[in-house]
Amino acid sequence: MESLQLTRGMCCKLSMNISLEACSFRPIRQLGFVHSDHLLRKRFRKLKLAVVRSDVTENGGEFENFGDDLNFNTNSIDEKEREEEEKRGVLLGIDRDESGSVIALHLIPPSGYYETVVSFLFSENSRFENNWSVKASVKSEVVVDKAAETQDEDEAAESEDKDERIEEEKVQNRVTYNIVFVTAEAAPYSKTGGLGDVCGSLPVVLAGRGHRVMVVSPRYLNGTPADKKFAGAFDLDRRIKVHCFEGEQEVAFFHEYKNGVDWVFVDHPSYHRAGNPYGDGHGAFGDNQFRFTLLCHAACEAPLVLPLGGYTYGGKCLFLVNDWHAGLVPVLLASKYRPYGTYKDARSILVIHNLGHQGVEPAVTYKNLGLPQEWYGALEWVFPTWARTHALDPGEAVNILKGAIVTADRILTVSKGYAWEITTVEGGYGLNELLSSRRIVLNGIVNGIDVSEWDPSSDGHIVSHYSADDLSGKAQCKTALQKELGLPIRPECPLIGFIGRLDYQKGIDLIRWGIPELMHDDVQFVMLGSGDPLYEDWMRAAEATYRDKFRGWVGFNVPISHRITAGCDILLMPSRYEPCGLNQLYAMRYGTIPVVHATGGLRDTVENFSPYAGDGNGEGTGWIFSPLAKESMLQALRTAMMTYRDHKSTWEALMRRGMLRDFTWETAAIQYEQVFEWACIDPPYIP
């Protein structure tokens, strides 16, 4: 990938083919060039930019100039001149793909001119046959005005220049992509768990790194105040017809541009009902296959039909397909679009947040999915004999996640440990062999967290702020939490917390078995969660039994989750399996010590405490127990409680080490970009 760098004293000329299918022009608001202001201040002496085109095929032909040369001096820039430049525009760099085609122009467009060029190219493209390309030549010339090289440039200015240059090179050397997240939830619009967190924050970070990012998810309206979250999204007035379930469904698109991201909400009456995205008090919705089939079809159309910020994303994009709900996207790309020449340059990456849910339905439902009949094999799934309901049950089903595994270009999970676990019989949920067969394109990247939302030094949900430098506020958070929960206010008593979905995955049964024994100790315990009614009832009953020690908060409540994270001393996560886990990351950032089962992302992110390591000062950020048994969980908790009571300085060191860990999304985003690059280097898995 080449990129054009404008540096002082450099003079270069470029001439290239721009294949419009492969061309991703970005309006400046979507470039994420936060440094545009200082880039404009750079002392480019003269910049010349011209764009010409010709209606010829790739075999060659004359160039026909349609654009005016833009010449301007940027010497001795003052505010007025800078404003002038903004009007005229600056070409910052060019990205090409491996074949040399331009895939992105990094430019600060001249106001008006930019629209003229781009809308011209796009309107021409729509008039031409698919195999036409518009040829363009971009000349860029930087001429040093020697006279302006004054002697009195001091060292400070030079070093400032150097910093700017490094920063500019960093921006320009980065390859940017058109990224389309497809997800059943994205915070703050919708969230039932970690999927919502990830799809609410990773897109923003990627957009900040210069990518053009769209997130496609349903517009859930459930008749509660939560509906207001969608108030900023407006109807794009683009309707499409989706052919599925033996009929035709009309879906609409709503859009909000926020934090550099195009949030696109697919609208259909089936998303408007009481409950959460997947179900209500009676269990999972019976038509989830239908609802998420609509989402996938709509997500495939969105980059082609939605003029976001004036321009569609086009056919060259990267789909980030999250969990089974989005799993039909790679199947649709392979079966419905590529055979007709669309999305030939697109790639899809399946991100597995939870293999425990695969979107499995009876085989007869295949005809509902809007896929060609001959693609049945991609989704075909046969239950093992032991899992069938009766002797005559052939166990035939369709499995949407399986379809995604066999058609996506690459596969990601949310930690390295989990990437390995899903290739084993124990962790593979029946898909381990398939996943093993794709091991070469399977990677794990640990999730980051939104460090601005989860920051104990500024969190709006907690009573007192604190940081690794000054931990005093944490004690006040604990007191406030005990008060809020109606527990005895006892700073010396260890307070243990649990936050999460009340699900088999989370090891709630272990807590349930362990509580009667644990309640003999001098301890307080608070649980926040909703899900399985069996566990909800048990939490209520435990609260009634252990009035002075136990609180079970049934429900989904984000402010309370922040207050528990800040106010507790210990956070317990006895998950049976945990692809990444976010609560242990939040806990460490808030100086709350995690006690976790040794699995998946928990093992990858929590470092087991070792009191004598690190020159005798101790190392580690929490306790990791194994095997998954009540006894080992209780033993780890008791060691943690003893350390809390009897070794204050050791405890503080544990807190600080956790608080100073880097869990930002930036680290994860860089690794995601590496995977994007690999995805684009390889040809499509299903051409």
Ligand X SMILES: Nc1ncnc2c1ncn2[C@@H]1O[C@H](COP(=O)(O)OP(=O)(O)O[C@H]2O[C@H](CO)[C@@H](O)[C@H](O)[C@H]2O)[C@@H](O)[C@H]1O
What count of Cα atoms within 13 Å lies in the side-chain half-sphere of residue 655? 26
The one-letter amino acid code at 365 reads: T
State the minimum distance, in angstroms, from the CB of residue 171 to ligand X.
Answer: 29
The one-letter amino acid code at 477 reads: C
State the minimum distance, in angstroms, from the CB of residue 573 to ligand X.
Answer: 8
State the minimum distance, in angstroms, from the CB of residue 181 to ligand X.
Answer: 13
Give whichever of 530 and 643 is closer to ligand X, judged by the CB atom.
Answer: 530
Give whichever of 253 and 418 is closer to ligand X, judged by the CB atom.
Answer: 418
State the minimum distance, in angstroms, from the CB of residue 326 to ligand X.
Answer: 13
State the minimum distance, in angstroms, from the CB of residue 198 to ligand X.
Answer: 5
Tell me the C-alpha distance between 580 and 635, whole Å. 24
Give whichever of 442 and 499 is closer to ligand X, judged by the CB atom.
Answer: 499
70 alpha carbon, distance to own chain's centre: 39
3-state helix/strand/coil string of 227-278: HHHHCCCEEEEEEEEEEECCEEEEEEEEEEEECCEEEEEEECHHHECCCCCC
Give whichever of 537 and 548 is closer to ligand X, judged by the CB atom.
Answer: 537
Element housing 543 (H / E): helix 533-545
State the minimum distance, in angstroms, from the CB of residue 6 to ligand X.
Answer: 40
Give whichever of 85 and 503 is closer to ligand X, judged by the CB atom.
Answer: 503
Give the residue at shortest CB distance from ligand X.
Answer: 193
The one-letter amino acid code at 198 reads: V
DSSP label at residue 334: I
State the minimum distance, in angstroms, from the CB of residue 38 to ligand X.
Answer: 36
Contact predicate 511/587, CB 8 Å: no
Cβ-based neighbours of 606, under 8 Å, separated by 6 or more = 584, 588, 594, 596, 621, 622, 623, 624
Contact predicate 657/651, CB 8 Å: no
Cis ω for the linkage preceding 188 (within 30 of 0): yes
Q: Which two tokens stand for residue 582?
A: 């976010």
Give whichever of 500 and 507 is closer to ligand X, judged by the CB atom.
Answer: 500
Buried b (16+ CB within 10 A) or exposed e, 546-579: beebbbbbbebeeebbbbbbbbbbbbbbbbbbbb
Q: State the residues that interact with ligand X by CB under 6 A.
A: 193-195, 197-198, 353-354, 414, 447, 499-501, 528-530, 556-558, 561, 578-583, 601
State the minimum distance, in angstroms, from the CB of residue 182 to ligand X.
Answer: 15
Give whichever of 222 and 557 is closer to ligand X, judged by the CB atom.
Answer: 557
- Map residue 625 onto helix, strand or coil: strand
Give whichever of 528 and 568 is closer to ligand X, judged by the CB atom.
Answer: 528
State the minimum distance, in angstroms, from the CB of residue 580 to ligand X.
Answer: 3
Give whichever of 30 and 348 is closer to ligand X, judged by the CB atom.
Answer: 348
- Map residue 242 onto helix, strand or coil: strand
